[in-house]
Each structure stands twice: as C-alpha cells, then as structure tokens.
Chains A and B, each alone.
Chain A
C-alpha cells in the first residue's frame, strides 16, 4: 500500500511542478481577436511629395548628432516584430543592419504576423517579453489605446522636427485623442486601373468616366467595374457630394455620435451608385473575384482597386495595363480611403527613446526607399521619389486620400453600410436604407460600450 500512495503523490507533485512552469504567464484570454474589418482593410494615405530630393542627409545627420548629445544611455539591443512576409523581413534585415552600424545597437527581428501582433502584445507586453517596437495598421489605434499597449510618445524637439517631414495625415492617423502613438511607415490606397486596349486615355472627370462606361458596356464587356457594395471602395462616391463617416473637430478627434452616412450628400452619392446598377453598367453581386476575373480576361475597361492587384493584372494584361488617380468630380479629385501602417513603441519598454529613434530610422527616406524597392510598399515619408509606372499614380492618389477613422467604433460601420449598399444596388430607396444602417451603427456602438 505504501508505495501506491507515494507513487501517486510523487506523480502529482511532478505534474504540478511541470505544469506550474509551463503555465507561467499563460492564458486563453485572447482567443477572440480582432478582425474588425472586411478583408480589404489595408490602405494608406498620405500626401506625397514626389518632388523632394533624396537629401535626407542633413536633417538626419543633424538629428543624430543632436540626439546622441543628451540622449539616454544606449541599450545593447532592441527587439522588433516584423510582419512575417519574406520581402518585408529581408528589407528590414538590411535596414536594421545600417542602424546597427550607425548607432552600435543590435536589433533583433522576430517575424510575427501583423494581424496577430496586438494579441501578442496584450500578453507579452505586461509580462516583459514584448519587443520594443511593433507594427500596426493605423485603424487599430483605438483598440491599442483602449488596451494601453503602446507608449505615448514623448518626442524630443529634434524628433518632432523629423516627424514633420512625414505625410501629415499619416502622422495624425497614428494619434488618438490627441496622443501621438506611432511613427507612420507606409501608406496605401486604391486608384483607377484601366485596360488601354479598351480605354486608351485616363478619364479626367467622373462624367468622362461614365460616358466611357456607357459606351463600352454591352452585356459581356463592362466599361467600369468596382466593388461598389464594399464601403472601403465606395467611400469616394459617398463623400464627394458631402457625406462623411464620423464628424471631426479641428484637432482631428472623431465624434462617434456624429455619423454623416445618411446625410444629404451621402444619399446623393448612394443614388449615383444605385443608378449604375439600374442602368446595367455594373452587374448585381459584383465582388472582387468577379471584377478581377473580368478585368484580367479583358472584359472590363476600368476597375478600382489597390496596388496588391498589380502583379496579377500585369501578368494578364502586360503592356495594356495602366494606372491613374481617381477622376475628379465637381473639380476635385475623389478622395479615396487610405490605410497607414507604422511602428509603435511598446508601453512596457525600458528604452522608449531609442525605440523611437529606431522607428524614425526605419521610416527615414533612405530606409523607405530600400523598403519600397524590396517590399513594394509606398512610404509615408514625403521625401522619397517613387519611380514606377504603376505605383507612382497610386502614390499621387495618396495625396487625395483620407485615412480610415481610427476609432474602435469604426468596426461597426463596415457591415451595415455594405448591407445598405447591397440594398441600394437591388433598387431600394437610398435614404431609407441609409437611415436604417446608421441607426444600426448607433445601436451597435451603444452595445459595444
């Protein structure tokens, strides 16, 4: 008998100690996760000055010397999480090698999917295992603020001066309620792609575009296609006549009570979108797959999509592919939705200053140029010259783009508006369905708080 008991006990003890070690900072809390947006979220904005020369050196050089003077002590190494795509990892390997050379601080890169980083930070941050820098799209700022994952940046004057050279919209996109949280790295938005065989010249105005569309559309070929029931892409057409998502005060702080998606302007825009379906210019049930399929088969003259489509389109159309900014309406270029991605400093880091320095280094013109070359993403720094027949027009479009609102309430907007656009495509009354959609958004916002 005696051994039987003690055997069980020692087993129990052994198991307990093993699990204790293993269960250390473990926890299931994060099973839920993000995904508050339709798949297309990535987007970016930014005004881009293609003009400026590559002479980042002065600003940068000065900055560094000034910084070294009264800077806190250098850490031996900094850690950062890089989105786990080979091109991006390679690019940052190269860029951080330069940082190591310049400052003598080792940079450790961990591949980590961008979409899972907040979840990881929420647990690793407080337990002290987080990196110094992590990478996030700007529209997660609200969530990150509420969870308190990112450090509120206290920029030195010198750092502020350097940040002033970035695209202003992109910088504010990384602030939440007036607190600057991040350094923007890349911008992304969509533009007008066309098949030059069908549409040789880029349309100047929306009227031109519609005229071409009517001319070309004959039942099997379409003149102009876009995911019109996807709010991300239909944004320009709702905002051009005066619609808006959330009201903003002078400092860019959003008011989630003030929803402008059933305003007169938005309804007017929605009526236009509805008319495309009514006239048969656009087929019902149009989605990204259908649009891409028709365009690559040469059965669509113009489509609206983002830079991610370039490789496939180029493979299918070759020389016939051309990209331009969105046309104008009432004399102004349509403003697309943009998404920014940037670097945030871990709230729990001990090296806030140097982490910020690293973030600024990663996004300076030289690094941005390397990054664009290797990973193909458009920089948020305005002093980079983009020389690419497809990317340049998209970079131009970022000048007219507006960042998606970065408040958490935005996650409640996508679906009701997409549904409303679907009803409008089916011929229902725009005012009525938009009123319903906005009411739904309000209800949902109340529930989530």
Chain B
C-alpha cells in the first residue's frame, strides 16, 4: 500500500508509535514481538514452541556440541563415533533452531512495519486461511526435506568429519578415542611416496579409460541407431530387440561371464577365435595392455544399448521436413547427418551422455569383477586396470583406514561434482536453446 509512492512513505505512516525495531528486539524472546504486534495467539504459540524446544533440546544440543569437540574422554566407555554422530545431529538441530529464530524476528519486524503503514491484523479465521494458503507447499515439501537432511546430509557430514580424524585400524573405537587431526590426512595422501607415484599412474589410466570406453560406446550406439533408423532397413523391431539385449542381462553376470571367456588358456575367445585365426593366444588377463583393451571392449558391449535406445528415440523425433528441405537444397547424405541428425541427437542427449562419462569414471563394478583391477604391475600396488575408485577400495578398505578413505572420497566427490556441474550447465543451455 505504501509502496505506491516511496517519497511519501513517512507521511503515510498510520501508526507512528508502532516501532518495528522494538518488535524485533522483543522477539529475542520469541512470541513477545508478535504480542507487541497484537497477534497474541501466534505469539503464544511461538513462545510455547520455542520454550518446549529449549527445554527439550538445550541439554542434548550442548552435550552434543561439547562431545563433538572432545570426541569422548574415557576410552572404552565413550564411543567417539557416537559422540561424532550426536554432535552432527546437534549441529543440524542448531541450524534448524537458528533459522526459525531468525525467521521469528523477521516476522515480528515485518508485521510491525506493515502495522506502521496501517495494515490491520487479520482475525483468527483469516489468519488461519492465510496460513493454510501460504504454507501448503511447505507442508508437501517438508517430509522430503527432512528425509534429505537425515538420509543424505547426515551421512555425508559424518564422512566429511571422519576425514579430519585419526580413525584407522590402529586407533579404532571402542578401544581408543578418536582425535581431530586437521588436514593431516590430506597431507599424508600427497606426501607418502608410494601413494603419490601410484596415484598419477592410476589417474592417467582412469582418464584414458573414461574417455575411450565412453566415447566408443556412444560412437557405436550412434552408428547403429542411425543405421537401423534408415527406412530401407527391414525387421526394425527384431534388430532393436537384439541390440538392446545386452542391457537386459545384469551387468555383473555379463562381466563375470566375459572374465571366463577371456581366460588366457581356457577362454573361448582365445581357444575358439584368436588361435584358429591368428595362430597365437592373446594374454588377456596377464598383460596390462591386453587387459585394458578387453575391459574397454566389455564396457562398450555393456554400455552401448542404453545410449542406443536413447538415440533411437531422439532420431524418431526428428521431423522428416528437415531432410526434405535438405534434399531440395541438394545436400548429400554426410551433410544431412552432420548438420541435421548429429546436432539434434547430441543436443537432446548431451546431459545424459556426460553422465555416462561420470559413470565410467567411477565404474567400480566392471574393473573389480573382471579382474580385480589386475594384472599385477611390478613396482606398484595398483594393478594394470585399477581406476581410482578400485585402487582406493583396495588401499583403504583392506587397511581399514577410514580416515584416509574419507579424505579420498571427498577428493573423488569433488571430481564427480565437477562432472555433475558441467551436466547442469549443459541442461540449462539445452533448455534455453528451446528450439530444438
């Protein structure tokens, strides 16, 4: 109401005596500010709720926070992990409390300001209706939000906190108490020689693996999708079904079967295919390069059906008019592919394709199930096909170095978050483009 003319604002003050600052200050005790605004029912409700919260949780929260700092004092009786999780819960509760507290002060301030400008406090019935209208969306989001906080945020925080403790096999609860060690774990990661040198070997293979395997699977899928989509191809349904079949078999089953097929001396691939044709066997499981080739081929086999299905869907959505127009202009087949088909397909699927790369970056299953990251490479602890995630699995979980595992997980998490960020950017560009 006052907003109609800002310059006249002061002249329009109806209740000059009603002071928003006072309302806000009074709200330091929740409810008083609301009472000052003559919203007694609301004020009373707020006061009771805050009082109840304080009575019920103060002790718990302060104990939790204190425990978070000390992580326990009596070995054997205090379990640092419980202290840690209680501390994190306290942090979450405190965050809740603080945000509602601030909202309460803001609410008193805003209402007071409106009253100053001549706004009438609604009666109970109106207030109730307003509340229902305004808060309905929150009511619906609420449960999801709480689930998110306790199912996703809480464990995540726990992991992050562990990265700054000395929780490993030699310092494990309940016998020992944990201690905060700051960034020591991260420093160790990059100063211990064995870890650092192997890290770069593994990182380079991880990047090659991610890039080659994913690009090949997308390339094959695109090739097949375009081929099958050609109007001259018959039995489309049958061909599509066959091409999607690898997807229907659970991945781990396929991988284990392939690992048997690729066996150097007994696998069908050497015995039935390579040896009769070329007169020698390929050391699929004992030579690092051969294993890498094999594992990339398997990933292409496993990964292309999804991308193929995706591409097929998009291809069918491309209007025939585009191609007709291209024909009129005398475009050849390659030009039509390059300028119509390819951009369409890529634009529609880019975010999902990027997630394919992210998926392969952390594709633990195939590496571990095929050959446990092997074969062994002399002079390093990681095997020839170990990617970061499988190397870390071996290095930390066989040693029960939870602190290091947490530290490395944070680093990996940041790397994958990079992919995800990129994906969201792509999604947006896609949306804003709009026309395709």
What is A's interface to B at a CB cutoff of 8 Å? Answer: 1-13, 15-17, 19-20, 22-23, 25-29, 31-36, 122-123, 125-127, 143, 146-149, 283-286, 289-290, 293, 347, 408, 411-412, 415-416, 418-419, 422-423, 426, 428, 433, 436, 440, 443-444, 447-449
Contacts and interface: CB of A to CB of B under 8 A. Distances in A.
A27 B60 CA distance: 17
B274 interface: no
Contacts of A10: 49
B10 interface: no
Contact of A13 (B53, B143, B167, B405): B53
B108 to A, nearest CB: 11
Given A16-B93, A28-B155, A148 B39 contact: no
A13 B378 CA distance: 59
Contacts of A284: 264-265, 283, 286
B57 interface: yes
B397 A27 contact: no
B79 A28 contact: no
Most chain A CB within a 10 A radius of its CB, from B39, B52, B175, B405: B175
Contacts of A411: 398-399
A445 to B, nearest CB: 10
Nearest to B396: A32
B398 A447 contact: no
Contacts of A146: 169-170, 172, 175
B158 interface: yes
A285 B398 contact: no
Contacts of B134: 1, 4
Contacts of B138: 4, 7-8
22 contacts: A1-B42, A1-B127, A2-B42, A3-B127, A3-B132, A4-B131, A5-B42, A6-B46, A11-B142, A13-B53, A19-B146, A34-B400, A146-B172, A283-B264, A285-B265, A285-B285, A286-B265, A426-B286, A436-B378, A436-B379, A444-B194, A447-B192
B400 A290 contact: no
Given A23-B150, A29-B402, A408 B265 contact: no
Contacts of B104: 5
A148 B132 contact: no
B41 interface: yes
Given A6-B49, A20-B89, A283-B265, A148 B174 contact: yes
A419 B173 contact: no
Contact of A32 (B53, B146, B400): B400
Given A147-B175, A444-B381, A448-B169, A27 B82 contact: yes
B162 interface: yes
Contacts of A415: 381, 394, 398
A4 B129 CA distance: 9
B81 A422 contact: no
B174 A125 contact: yes
Given A29-B84, A147-B173, A285-B286, 12 more contacts: A1-B111, A2-B34, A8-B100, A9-B45, A19-B146, A25-B82, A26-B85, A32-B405, A126-B82, A285-B285, A415-B398, A444-B399
B53 A29 contact: no
Contact of B376 (A1, A13, A422): A422
B167 to A, nearest CB: 7
A11 B111 CA distance: 23
Contacts of A2: 34, 39, 41-42, 45, 124, 127-128, 131
B139 A447 contact: no
A126 B81 CA distance: 11
A122 B378 CA distance: 37
B260 interface: yes
A149 B172 CA distance: 10
Nearest to B155: A28
B73 to A, nearest CB: 14
B266 A290 contact: yes
Given A33-B397, A440-B381, A143 B42 contact: no
Contacts of B42: 1-2, 5-6
A146 B34 CA distance: 57
Contact of A283 (B124, B128, B266): B266
Contacts of B194: 443-444, 447
Given A146-B172, A285-B264, A32 B397 contact: yes
B159 interface: yes
Interface string B79-102: 101101100010001001000100
Contact of A1 (B85, B131, B285, B378): B131
A448 B401 contact: yes
A27 B41 CA distance: 41
Nearest to B99: A12
B263 interface: yes
Interface string B155-197: 1001100100001111011111000000000000000101100
B271 to A, nearest CB: 11
Given A6-B45, A6-B49, A9-B46, A36 B173 contact: no
Contacts of A15: 142-143, 146
Interface residues of B, number: 81
Given A11-B142, A27-B84, A28-B158, A35 B398 contact: yes
Contacts of A20: 60, 89
A10 B50 CA distance: 10
A418 B376 CA distance: 9
B399 A447 contact: yes
Most chain B CB within a 10 A radius of its CB, from A1, A3, A9: A1
B236 interface: no
B397 A149 contact: no
Interface string B56-67: 110010000000
B375 interface: yes
A419 to B, nearest CB: 3
Contacts of B77: 126
Most chain B CB within a 10 A radius of its CB, from A9, A10, A293, A412: A9
A36 B397 CA distance: 8
B426 to A, nearest CB: 32
A318 to B, nearest CB: 24
Contacts of A1: 39, 42, 107, 111, 122, 127, 130-131, 134
A293 to B, nearest CB: 7
Interface string B104-121: 100100010000000000
Contacts of B283: 284
Contacts of B41: 2
Contacts of B135: 3-4, 7-8
Contacts of A125: 174
Contacts of A289: 260
A13 B146 contact: no
Contacts of A29: 81, 84, 158, 162, 167, 173, 402
A4 B82 contact: no
Nearest to B93: A16
Contacts of B89: 19-20, 23
B9 interface: no
Nearest to B126: A1
B409 to A, nearest CB: 10
B158 A27 contact: yes
A116 B7 CA distance: 72
Contacts of B124: 2
Contacts of B266: 283, 285, 290, 293
Contacts of B399: 36, 411-412, 444, 447-448
Contacts of B192: 447
B76 interface: yes
Contacts of B131: 1-5, 7
B139 A11 contact: yes
